[in-house]
Amino acid sequence: MLILRTLLFGPSHGHQIAKHIRSTTDEVLQVEHGSLYPALHRLERKGWIAAKWEMAKDRNREFKYYRLTPAGRKQLAAEESKWKQLARAIGQVMWPAESTD
């Protein structure tokens, strides 16, 4: 879900994706490359992202850029819905509403 959400902002290569997740979570979540690239390949096989080798704008080197597909946008919406439901359920257990008895 976090990878799909990151790609909602536009195409990125793996290092950019990991850096975005790390920086937007105040370094609480750190995606290791050994976990990130297999996840990217799984998402690509499912058709949720597409990849293309391109020259980096600021470097004389090619990077594999990943972008969200229409199917990926649909999956992201489904994942976000599930996440909100799960977070709400956990919140109800952790911080139950005060009884009016």
Burial of 11 per CB tally in 10 Å (0-12, 13-18, 19+): middle
Q: What pLDDT is recorded for position 66?
A: 98
pLDDT value at 93 more than 60: yes
Give domain limits for the chain.
Answer: 2-94
pLDDT value at 29 more than 90: yes
- The CA distances from residue 12 to 70, 74, 77, in Å, are 16, 19, 20
Q: What is the mean pLDDT of residues 18-36?
A: 96
What is the band of 98 on the pLDDT scale with cuts at 50, 70, 90? low
The fold of the 2-94 domain, in CATH, is Arc Repressor Mutant, subunit A (1.10.10)
> Which pLDDT tens digit goes with each residue over 38-73?
999 999 999 999 999 998 777 788 999 999 999 999
* Helices 33-45 + 14-24 axis angle, to 10: 110
Indicate the pTM of the whole model.
0.86
Identity of the amino acid at 76: L
